[in-house]
Structure 1
Amino acid sequence: MLFKHDATHYGVAIKDGSYSVKLVTEYAFENIHRLNPQLNAVNYIYQDQALARAKRLDKHLATLSSAERRKLSPFFGVPILLKDLGQLWKGSVSSQSSKLFLGKKSTTTDDFIRIASEAGMIFVGRSNTSEFGLKTVSDSLYFGSVRNPHNLAYNPGGSSGGAAASTKSGMVPLAAASDAGGSIRVPASDCGLIGLKPSHGRIAASPQVLRRINGLSGNFFIARSVRDIFNGIQVFQAMPNPSRNTLPIIQEDELKAIDRPLKIAYTTDHPRGQGNSSDAIQAIEMTVQALRNLGHEVEAIALPVDYNELMDYYYMILTVEIGKNILRIKESGQQIQAEDIDPLAWLCYQTGPHIPAFAYSDFVLYQDELIAQMDRFYEQYDVLLTPTTSAVAQRNDALAYSQSLVDRINRASSLPPQTLWELAHEAFDHVYQRTSYCPLMNITGQPAISLPLYENADGLPLGSQFAAKRGQELLLIQLAKQLERHGYLKANCIEL
């Protein structure tokens, strides 16, 4: 049975006795075994553990009254895929879709996974991603490229591409994901799904996770319904704690559509002056008309920040953080050769040690200034609307770097630092030109959601990205609910 409904639907059906947890879990494995040869969306399968847990949860349900069942998590008994990147679960491998981590089992469970387990979710496997989550496509050197359910010749985006492909195909009703620069929103856009990057500090996270990729990354889900996003926030939001990331808890226990007109700024400008595709322009024009139909005030603006400067800093962070992680693998005694990892990862490994501490210190100052700048922006507007990406999904056969670029990367160890950085910038541009709208929200910590309002004549979607001031997830979800209720969202399951 394909999961054609959202995760909340199956959670309700389990609690009212329409389905057993075991049966729903068995359906998930039937789907994985049937669909994964076509999609290559799943790296690891946890069949024995999942079925054993499903039986235990069914026994627990049998002891509860109807009233007690209704108090359970909205996702109780729902099968999900974890992402094969972070999302540590004690005793399981999170390989980061890399040959270097294939046998390394986690010795801890992070807070996101702990809460998912306490909520009764069933972990059925891990989804394919780009190596180290470094790219906004999913084309792991070791596990291979993921294929998009809309058209198998295309990639579902990244780095949470396996999560998006598995959800869109109905393999599972919901999949965990993460986002350090668009890795939830881009695959949601490329696959016609709903992807929220919450505010920094909104979702419960272990201390080491809060600082992952210098604090830019966070966990959440890719979903087919707005209520799954809302329920996910309710279940996974962090309790207030005495830190700089503290956010007030969202208290609403029922999701209502927005009940007032919003002032929404929008643009169809390419963030780096390269020119948007006609699909990106049409997606925003369609979205603007929908918003006006719903009574919102929508105003065209120029982009509020210098995205070329922003992407320079963003590339620097990725270079240092990924380079550091690979260097620590080598320091543990493991040999690393250029052919073992993605060329961009190898370039980070070669370039990262040459980034000066002064540059990293400058980023912190830049980040503070950018946060203040966007706070001023949100004094004038409730929401910022842009395309999620500047073009639809890419073909899998068009993802490779040019041979000239690969040859220069392979000579990286002999290059001076400035030449290395220029080469890294060129390689990152190959991946991020299409997705440059997204990293702003990771640097400022503000929430952003990609919504599926548009598909082109070939049936390929392109998302509309809505962003708001930090802590304003509920506003974005309420607006999404309004668009969904009026039939504007196209997040249905695609059967292969």
Structure 2
Amino acid sequence: MTATSANGVLQTHDAMGLAKLVRQRKVSPGELLEAAIARTEAMNPRFNFMAQQHYDFARAEIARGLPDGPFTGVPWLLKDLAAYIEGLPTEGGSRLNKGQVGLFTTELVQRYRRAGLVVFGKTTTPEFGLTGTTESVLMGATRNPWNPERIAGGSSGGAAAAVAAGVIPAAHATDGGGSIRIPASCCGLFGMKPSRARTPMGPYRTEGWGGLSTHHVITRSVRDSAALLDATHGPEAGSRYSAPSSDGTFLSHAERDPRRLRIALMNKPASGAPVDPECLAVLNATARLCETMGHHVEEAAPKLDAGAMGQASFVLIASSLAADLLDRAKSLGIELGPDVLEPITLGFVGYGQTTTGADFARANNTMQRAAVAVAQFMENYDVILSPTVAKPPLEIGQIGLSPGVSFQEWGQRAATFSPFTQIANFTGQPSMSVPMGESSDGLPVGMMFTGRYGEEALLYSLAGQLERAAPWAARRPVLS
């Protein structure tokens, strides 16, 4: 197969489709890899989604022979955050970690490699994944392939930009407050945040940010997301707990319609932040589509204390981050300051140093009260439908590296842009962004569906039904 035809295959097949072509010997892993590298070299200068290039590592993996898995030979990108390969750099978008090399390979990465995926690089993230846009001093701004003046979302914006730019059909991502779903919405892709403890976080830790964060992927197709979760879910050594098992594979659920669902239409966030009329228009159209598919939709929302949850999340994130970064600085023999950390990160670290163990315990209790409140609400509803974010993709700089913007002002801006996504992180529930429409100027607008804890299978069934009823595969940015 020629390089041109291999590139064409990348553009026209999802990850499962690529793996099938490899099994049928219609394309080789090496051809797919070189096509993905060529596409990366063509697109990255425009959109800046690559943090690390592991091209020779990937070539060596293929030369040694790949394992026989469901995705054997499919090129793969990891997010440059908490996804380590022994001996290769992972910097987390920070000058503090410039040149830091992994001392071990994380369990999730081992599972990706056992599935046959070929890691050839890592995608950009804001510093330590803290913002809803992928902009950092270390790497600069990652730009949206739909409009380079707009954000790709964060913190998995590099992953979303790479997929939207046609480099690969799926990529690793993480989500601690919306970091899978926000970029998926901004870039017109599908993004599932799994239930807490569905995918591995270790070794050496089984939670991120006090249980707020989890790993999975951003994809073009629903079936890729489901099959990748089939390949990677389950407890790891030392897990404190794990998400409940599903009846059958996630892929099998994605391939069949769900039963008639009771859907709560949440058109206002708990914080009361305003929602752009264009997002509400797509929300109402999505609700009508769900009704035509036989589901019952009515306006309803759980009663939650947004202020208390927001404060608790700052305690959990800031204290976790402060512990990690202070330990890192001590190991390097340096002081944390603006020469190695950005103002937003320094704000988190400073706040984290003022918190106590009792504060951390109280924050956990606040999150548990929210989880109970939402679980009780969802005794009457199967799914909550809301916009993923409150506005179409913002211009670069509005919630990222804005000179002179205080830590408090940044927090208000970020919360106004993304007032819906954090609830699922607070409660541990699965939640997905589905590319259901566009704004009047052609920017993607995602809709979010949140299910009960442990019920990814139901969400995948609904996502598959939506994909069949209103296909989005042909909606792509215009790229030369």
TM-score range, shorter chain: over 0.9
In 2: Cα distance, 1:86 partner to 1:263 partner: 37
Matched, 1:158 2:166: no
Amino acid at match of 1:102: K
In the other structure, the counterpart of 2:84 is: 88
Cα displacement string for residues 414-447 of structure 1 (whole angstroms, at most 9, x for unaligned residues): xxxxxxxxxx444322223211211111121110
Which amino acid in the other structure matches residue 144 of structure 1? G
Tell me what 1:352 maps to.
Answer: 352
CA drift at 1:154:
0.7
Q: 1:281 to 1:187 in 2, by over 3 A?
A: same
The whole-number CA distance in structure 2 between the counterparts of 1:117 and 1:350 is 38
Aligned residue in 1 for 2:4:
none
CA distance in 2, matches of 1:397, 1:445: 30
Contact persistence 2:312–2:364 (CA under 8 A)? no
- 8 A Cα contact 1:82 1:127, kept in partner: yes
* Contact 2:163-2:170 at 8 Å conserved across structures: yes
- How far does residue 88 in structure 1 lie from its aligned partner after superposition? 1.2
Q: Which amino acid aligns with 1:450?
A: S
SS of residue paired to 1:324: helix
> Is the 8 Å Cα contact of residues 170 and 495 (structure 1) preserved in structure 2?
no
Structure 2: segments with no counterpart, 5+ residues: 1-6
Aligned to 1:117: 113
For 1:247, the equivalent position in structure 2 comes to 244
Tell me if structure 1 keeps the 8 A contact 2:146–2:478: no
Tell me the amino acid that sits aligned with residue 431 of structure 1: A
What is the Cα deviation at residue 127 of structure 1?
Answer: 0.2
CA shift digits 1:371-396 (9 cap, x unpaired) = 22121112100001111100011111
Relative to total residues, which structure has the larger helix share, 1 or 2? Answer: 1
Preserved contact between residue 237 and residue 249 of structure 1 (Cα < 8 Å): no
Query: Partner residue of 2:50?
Result: 42
Give the superposition deviation at 1:274: 2.4
Measure how far apart 1:14 and its partner are: 0.6
Per the alignment, residue 11 of structure 1 pairs with 19
In the aligned structure 2, how far is the partner of 1:321 from the partner of 1:427? 20
The one-letter amino acid paired with 1:439 is Q
Contact 2:173 2:217 in 1 (8 A): yes
Say whether 1:438 aligns with 2:421: yes
Contact 1:452 1:491 in 2 (8 A): no
In 2, Cα distance between the equivalents of 1:307 and 1:96? 29
Task: Tell me the secondary structure at the aligned position of residue 204 of structure 2.
Answer: helix
**In structure 1, what is the equivalent of residue 40 of structure 2?**
32
| Contact 1:269 1:303 survives alignment (8 Å) | no
Tell me: CA distance 1:402–1:98, structure 2 relative to 1, closer, same or farther (3 Å): closer
Which residue does the alignment assign to 1:329?
328
Match of 2:3 in 1: none
Partner residue, 1:418: none
Q: Kindly provide the amino acid, as one letter, of the partner of residue 203 in structure 1.
A: T
* SS of corresponding position for 1:458: coil
Mean Cα deviation higher: 464-473 or 369-378: 369-378
State which of 137, 140, 164 in structure 1 corresponds to 2:133: 137
CA contact (8 A) 2:36 2:168 kept: yes
Q: Distance in 2 between matches of 1:115 and 1:302?
A: 37
On the 8 A contact 1:209/1:218 being kept in 2, the answer is no
Find the aligned partners of 1:331 and 1:148 in 2 and give their Cα distance: 37
- Specify whether residues 405 and 149 from structure 1 end up closer, same or farther in structure 2 by C-alpha distance, changes over 3 A only: closer
Preserved contact between residue 234 and residue 250 of structure 1 (Cα < 8 Å)? no
CA distance in 2, matches of 1:455, 1:277: 13
1:170 aligns with 2:166: yes
Q: CA RMSD in A?
A: 1.9
Aligned to 1:456: 439
Q: Is the 8 A contact 1:130 1:159 kept in 2?
A: yes
Render the CA deviation track for 1:311-353: whole Å, top value 9, x for unaligned.
1211222222222222222222134321432211011122211
Q: For 1:229 and 1:319, locate their aligned partners in 2 and report how far apart those are by CA, in whole Å.
A: 30
Match of 1:343 in 2: 343
Give yes or no for contact 2:188–2:476 (8 Å, CA) kept in 1.
no
**TM (normalized to structure 2)?**
0.93
SS of the residue 1:108 aligns to = coil
1:461 deviates by 1.0
Tell me whether 212-221 or 268-277 shows the greater mean CA deviation: 268-277
Q: CA deviation at 1:271?
A: 3.2
1:122/1:133 CA distance change after superposition, 3 Å = same
